[in-house]
Amino acid sequence: MDSTNCLDVIDAVSEAESVDRLHSICAGVCTGHGFDRFIYGARIPTSFVKPYFIFISGYPREWREHYTANNYMVIDPTVQYCAQNITPMAWDDSLLRSDSGEIRRFMSEARDFGLNSGVSFPVHTAQGDFAMLSFASERLDSQSGCIQRVLLLGQLFAAYLHEAVRRVFNADALALSKVDLTHRERECLLWATEGKTAWETSQILNISERTVTFHLQNVQGKLGVNNRQQAVARAVSLGIIEPQFTQ
Answer yes or no: are the C-beta atoms of 135 and 115 closer than 8 Å. Answer: no
The string of DSSP letters for 131-152 reads EEEEEEESSS-TTSHHHHHHTT
pLDDT at residue 163 is higher than 60: yes
pLDDT at residue 3 is higher than 60: no
Average pLDDT of the residues in 107-118? 91
What letter represents residue 241's amino acid?
A: I
Which pLDDT score, from 0 to 100, does residue 247 have? 45
Answer yes or no: are the C-beta atoms of 118 and 36 closer than 8 Å. Answer: no
Domain ranges of the chain: 3-174, 179-237
What letter represents residue 136's amino acid?
A: A
Which CATH number is correct for 3-174, 3.30.70.1340, 3.30.450.80, 3.40.50.300, 3.90.1300.10?
3.30.450.80
Answer yes or no: are the C-beta atoms of 117 and 134 closer than 8 Å. Answer: no
Q: What digits encode the pLDDT tens for the residues 175-198?
A: 555 677 888 998 898 899 888 999
The overall average pLDDT reported for the chain is: 85
- Please provide the CATH number assigned to the domain covering 179-237: 1.10.10.10
**Own/partner long-range contacts of 25-29 (Cβ < 8 Å, ≥24 apart):** 25/161, 26/56, 26/58, 26/133, 26/161, 27/58, 29/1, 29/135, 29/157
Cα-flanking dihedrals φ and ψ of residue 51, to 5°? -70, 165
* Alpha helix (H) residue ranges in the chain: 3-15, 19-32, 61-69, 77-84, 101-111, 145-150, 153-168, 172-176, 183-193, 198-205, 209-223, 228-237
pTM of the model: 0.73
Which has the closest alpha carbon to 118: 97, 96, 142, 83? 142
Which pLDDT score, from 0 to 100, does residue 144 have? 61
pLDDT at residue 167 is higher than 90: no
Measure the CA–CA gap between 207 and 126, rounded to whole angstroms. Answer: 30
Burial class (CB in 10 A: 0-12, 13-18, 19+), 9: buried
Which pLDDT score, from 0 to 100, does residue 245 have? 47
Distances (CA, A) of 132 to 39, 124, 125: 8, 9, 12
Lowest mean pLDDT of 74-88, 90-104, 189-203, name the range: 90-104
